[in-house]
Structure formats: structure tokens, C-alpha cells
Amino acid sequence: MKSLRHSLVTRIVAYFLAISGMSIISISLTMVIAHSSKGDAAAINLAGSLRLTSAQIIELMQDRAETENTNNINQLIENLTTRLDSPTLYEGPLFSRNEVILEQLDELQQQWQHTLMPALEQVSTPNTVDTTQAKAALNRFIVDTDYFVTLLESSSEAKVRLISIIQVLFLVLIGLLLLMALYDVRHNLVTPLRQLMVLSSEAGKRNFHHRSNFRSHDELGQLGRTFDRMASELNTSYRELEARVIFKQSELERHNQALQIIHNGSRTLYGGGNDLCASAAPMLRELEDLLEIGPIVLALRSEHDANDMEILATHSSERPLYCRDLACFACLEDPIKASNLEFDTEALALPVAVGNLILGYLTVGYQIAPSATTRQLLNTLTDHLATAIYLQQRIEEQQQLSLIKERTIIARELHDSLAQSLSYLKMQVARLERMQAKQFPAEQQSGVMSDLREGLNSAYRQLRELLSTFRLALDKPGLQPALQQTVDEFSQRLGFSVEWTYQLPPHLLSANEEVHLLQITREALANTLKHAHAGWAKVSLTFSNAAIHLAIEDDGIGLEDDRSPPMHYGLIIMRDRAKNIDAELIFKNRPKGGTGIYLSFTPKTERLIEEGNR
């Protein structure tokens, strides 16, 4: 009982169990009574058939002249006997037959066996004429059977009335329990819930002064008192949160401004070359003023040793040791503030690194320890600085490598062409000196002089070709403009337009390969100009099946064979250049006349892949 008074859930469960129990009892009683009615309808039907059979016997007794009627009477008597002895009339579920019904049934059986059967047996004999007694007995039997049917019907109706009474009784009890439950729920559940809804609505409106003041000891009463305590605590917490939100909002706005400064400064940082004073110093000073930190010192690690070189400082009292611009005073601004910060601040050292490669350190001074978000901003700043410094270092290295490669190509070209010609001339001069010392005839010396003259002409021609080639390669970037200029040049010298086709993907060839292709093309066109007497020429440079294909064709006089003529080194030089780039070079006469020079090789793109992965 105590739990019923102090627990709303317990009372609701008790109401539910009581209503459920009454419903189960009502249904069970109804099922039992309904089950006891099983067989009543069959018994009534069978009893009715007894009346019908008796009436049929009386009707057949009217005319017993025919043997068929006598047989029918016997058959009906046999059916009547069988039906009267049927278990359906007296057997059934428990309590399905009362004593009055059983007594009436027993009387019908006695009447049939002792009175009606002897009379019918007499009538069924052929010599019997008087059937009055038998008919009277049958009529009495029919009346008694009607009474028996009436008893059966009254018993079934009584069961139906009992079911109705039970249903009405339990409905009334369940209705009373429902009224009690509704009253309890309304006063102890609905009304407190409405009050709690009002409290929650007021709390949603940030009014934490409203109270429930519940006095009950059930769950909702405890909930109301808990809600009152929660509202009081929320009121205190809300005031504290408001102050924290205002602080966080101002901090977030400040950090957004810092991110905007870093974003704007990064564009200057990436485009400012290696002048960090001009690109990074303004951004660092703005961040100092905004985040209330500083001074900031940037030191870069030497690539040759582990020494850190101070490159940039903000609000410093002294110029950085490795400052390159003595006319700049960016680091020396606000000396009073710098002297104050020097004694009152602590420092936070952040590595400026790309992956595992440490490029230097960013030292940040502070008076108040920076928050976690400020540290994240500083880490973002160091990432931008590291990326910009790393990219600038890689660009400078690439420029140095490009310069070294260009010098190597020029040196190799001079060695392969002009240096060999000069060596040849030096040997011819030595030969001429020996001939003069031995006073050889002038005719023999004139042959050497002729060789010297032709060697000088060849060396001069190679020098001009090299100068033309390097002017083309250096003045305009890429192979395509150089080839276009070469084709235009020889079109003017040949007196007709040289056809040309260029179909190469960008950035496919190395500088060495481009120079060799350009020199081979110029040498081939020079041979066309000097020896072919052509009226048509074509240059084609294409890429297919992972290979470069160069074709220079003309419709001139052609070659006797694929060997170079004496004292003409053009074809030999082209073979040497093709060999340097692992290319296959073929000289042959065209079927339609003229000469065709065909070169094919696979470019060494691994160099580009390796440089792209750095």
C-alpha cells in the first residue's frame, strides 16, 4: 500500500493489472459457459428429428395396404430407436445437462421402450387393423418430445443470459476501475506534466526563476523538485556560459582575423622570392598586434652545418646578424616596446619543417601563455613559412641545376664539333711546319694549305651553326619555337616554304635531347640547301608508340649511298648526335626522288618522373 501511495507508475500498473485480470476472468468464464453449450444445438436438432420421425410414422399408418409402407414404418421405427439412444441427447461437456432434462430424456426412453415400441410392433404386423392405440401413443410421445426440446432451448437460453450477466458485471467493474485510473492520472500525472511543460517552456525562454513547488511523493513530485534544483543550477551556469561565450566569440573573431592575415600574407610570401623581410615581416607584425604576442624571431638552419642563422626579427633592439639590407629598419621598430618585451616575456620555439626536414625555428615571445587555438594558428603560420622557404630553396636549386645542365650541353657541343675541328687544324699546322722545316716542294705544301683552308671553313661553319642553335634554344623556350625559327630561316635561304609538322606532348624531352634534335634538323636542312638542288622539303616531328619520330625529306638529287662523301662530315655528325641520345638514324633515297633522313628514339622520361617526385 505504501508503494501505491508513493509511486504513480505502481498505481498505473496496478490499474492495468486489475483491468487485465477482470478481462481475463470475464473471457475465461465466457469461454467455459460457451464450451458447456457445445452439443445443445445438435441435441435440439436430434430431438426435433424425433418429432418428425414420429409424425412420419403416423402418416404411414393411414395406409398400410402397401407392403412398401410397412417397410417404411419399420425403417422409421429403427431410425427412431437409434436416434433416441444417441449419446448426443444425454452426453456433453461438464454441466451441459441439468437434472430436469435428464429426467425428461429418461421418461422418453421409458415411454418408447415400454409403451410405444410394443404398440408399434403390433401395428407393424400385417393382420393388425386397429392403429388407434399406436397413434395415440405416438401423439403423446410427440408432445413429450416437444417438452424435451423446450427444456433444451431453455437451458441454452439460460447459458446465454448467464454470459450476458457476467459480461455486464465485469464491464461495470472495469468501467469503475477506468474512472478511478483516469481520475488518478488526471490529478497526479496530466496536471503535473502540464506544470512541467510550463517550466520547460519558461526554461526555453531563458527564464530559470519559475518553480513547480510539487508536494507529492511520487515520481513526478521528485521530478518537479529535481527540476527546481536544475533550474536554479542552470540559472547560475547560464550566466557563466554567457560570459564564456562572449569571450570565445571575441577570441574566434580574433582568430578569424589572424587566419585572414595569414591567408593574405601567404600570397605575398609565395611570390616574394627569398626576401622574407619584405614578404613575411608585415604579416608577423600584424599577428603580434592581433594575438598580443611577440617579439617573433625567424632563424633558418644552414644546409652545410647545424647552425641556426637569425634571418628575421620583429621589434628587436638589434639588427639580425645575417641581415642583408642595411637600409631596412623593419626589425628595429618600436625600440621601447622591444626593450620591455626583452625582460618580461617568455619564448615558444616552433620548428619550421617540411616533413622530417627541419628548415629552422620560429621563436615566439609571449607574456600570457597562448591558448590551444593560438598555438594552432602559430603552427599554421610555421607550415606556410616552411612551404614558402622550401619551395624557394628548391627553385634556386633547380635554377642552378638548369644552368649547370646548359653549360654542360654547350661544353659538349663545343667539344663534339669545334674542338675536334681545331684539333684537326692543329695537326695540319704541325704537319705543315715539319714540311717547311724539311723544305718539301710547294706543291705538297699547297695540299696541306688546302686542307687547312677547308678545315677552317668547316670550323667556322660549325661555329656559326652552334651560335645559331644556342641563340634559338636560349632566346625562346622550348623545342617547338626553335624548330619553327629554323624552318623559317631555311625557307628563306632555300627560296621555297619548307613544310613542317610538330606533334609532341609538352615537357617530354630533356634539354640535351632537344639540342641534338635541333642540330640534326639544321644539319639535314643545310645539306638540302648545299647539295640537294631541291624544290620541296619537309620536316616532321611526331610522337607515337612511346617513341619520337623525326623525318627530313626533300625531292633533290639524292645520295649515291648512305656514306658521307670525303671531307664532308654532315652525315657523320648526325650519326654521332643520334648515338648520343640512343636513336636509330636511317639515310635513304625516297621512292619519288630525293633524300630521306629518318630518326626514331624513346625519350628518357624517367628524368622528369624523378624530378616530379622530389
Alpha helices in 67-116 (DSSP H): 67-84, 99-111
pLDDT at 537: 95
Mean pLDDT taken over the chain: 76
**Three-state DSSP class for 264?**
helix
pLDDT at 338: 47
Predicted confidence (pLDDT) per residue in 216-275, tens digit:
777 777 777 787 778 778 788 888 888 888 888 888 888 888 888 888 887 777 765 556
Same domain, 399 and 367: no
pLDDT at 27: 87
* 139: in domain: yes
Q: Tell me which of 10-14, 103-107, 126-130, 512-516 is least confident.
A: 126-130
Print the SS3 string covering 477-517.
CCHHHHHHHHHHHHHHHHCCCCEEEEECCCCCCCHHHHHHH
pLDDT at 607: 43
Tell whether the model's pLDDT for residue 501 goes beyond 90: yes
Burial call 165-184: b when 16+ CB within 10 Å, e when fewer: ebeeebeebbeebeeebeee
Q: What is the H or E stretch that residue 587 is in?
A: strand 584-589
Instruction: Find which of 144-158, 291-305, 444-458, 573-587 is predicted with most confidence, using mean pLDDT.
Output: 573-587
Residue 559 sits at φ, ψ, to 5 deg, of -110, 150
Same domain, 127 and 79: yes
User: What confidence category does residue 123 fall into, taking pLDDT thresholds of 50, 70 and 90?
Assistant: low
Tell whether the model's pLDDT for residue 353 goes beyond 60: yes
Q: How far apart are CA 311 and CA 313, in angstroms?
A: 7
Question: Is pTM beyond 0.85 here?
Answer: no
* 206: in domain: no
Let me know the angle formed at the C-alpha of 129 by 123 and 131, rounded to the nearest 5 degrees. Answer: 50
* 211: in domain: no
* 584: in domain: yes
pLDDT at 611: 42
Tell whether the model's pLDDT for residue 459 goes beyond 80: no
pLDDT at 614: 44
Q: How far apart are CA 510 and CA 86, in angstroms?
A: 118
Which are the contacts of 150, defined by CB distance < 8 A and separation ≥ 6? none
* 335: in domain: yes
Same domain, 506 and 572: yes
Higher pLDDT pick, 562 / 489: 489
Hey, what amino acid is at 76? L
pLDDT at 122: 65
Q: 351: domain CATH number? A: 3.30.450.40
Q: How far apart are CA 607 and CA 366, in angstroms?
A: 48
Same domain, 544 and 414: no
Average pLDDT of the residues in 413-439: 75
Average pLDDT of the residues in 453-477: 66
Q: Tell me which of 192-196, 400-404, 474-478, 499-503 is least confident.
A: 474-478
Q: State how beta strands 499-503 and 537-544 pair.
A: parallel
Residue that is last in its domain, among 361, 392, 423: 392
* 382: in domain: yes
Same domain, 183 and 79: yes
Average pLDDT of the residues in 17-30: 87
Same domain, 155 and 29: yes
Q: How far apart are CA 586 and CA 68, in angstroms?
A: 133
Higher pLDDT pick, 236 / 58: 236
Predicted confidence (pLDDT) per residue in 532-551, tens digit:
889 999 999 999 888 999 99
Residue that is last in its domain, among 369, 392, 415: 392
pLDDT at 606: 45
**Three-state DSSP class for 600?**
strand
Q: 504: domain CATH number? A: 3.30.565.10
Q: Tell me which of 152-156, 276-280, 337-341, 501-505 is least confident.
A: 337-341
Average pLDDT of the residues in 495-499: 93
Higher pLDDT pick, 608 / 595: 595
Tell whether the model's pLDDT for residue 2 goes beyond 80: no
Average pLDDT of the residues in 370-391: 85
Q: How far apart are CA 312 and CA 281, in angstroms?
A: 7
State how many domains the chain has.
4
Same domain, 267 and 375: yes
Average pLDDT of the residues in 512-537: 88
pLDDT at 98: 67
C-alpha closest to that of 284 among 266, 309, 302, 308: 266
pLDDT at 612: 41
Which are the contacts of 303, defined by CB distance < 8 A and separation ≥ 6? none
Q: What is the H or E stretch that residue 53 is in?
A: helix 40-61
Same domain, 521 and 542: yes
User: What confidence category does residue 554 fall into, taking pLDDT thresholds of 50, 70 and 90?
Assistant: very high
Distance of CA 614 to the CA centre of its chain: 30
Residue that is last in its domain, among 392, 418, 447: 392
Same domain, 504 and 589: yes
pLDDT at 609: 42
Same domain, 365 and 307: yes
Q: What is the H or E stretch that residue 309 is in?
A: strand 308-313
Q: How far apart are CA 447 and CA 444, in angstroms?
A: 5
Given a contact cutoff of 8 angstroms between Cβ atoms, the answer to whether 536 and 555 are in contact is: yes
* 228: in domain: no
Tell whether the model's pLDDT for residue 209 goes beyond 50: yes
Domain range for residue 406? Answer: 393-475
Average pLDDT of the residues in 95-111: 70
Same domain, 488 and 555: yes
CB hemisphere CA count around 402 (13 angstroms): 9
Q: Tell me which of 26-30, 298-302, 343-347 is least confident.
A: 343-347
Same domain, 75 and 123: yes
Given a contact cutoff of 8 angstroms between Cβ atoms, the answer to whether 473 and 514 are in contact is: yes
Predicted confidence (pLDDT) per residue in 303-340, tens digit:
656 677 777 777 766 666 556 556 666 666 555 554 54
Average pLDDT of the residues in 90-96: 49
Share of the chain above pLDDT 90, in %: 8
Instruction: Find which of 23-37, 42-56, 306-320, 408-422 is predicted with most confidence, using mean pLDDT.
Output: 23-37
Share of the chain above pLDDT 70, in %: 75
DSSP 1: -
**Residue 516, strand partner residues:** none
Average pLDDT of the residues in 87-92: 60
pLDDT at 298: 84
* 216: in domain: no
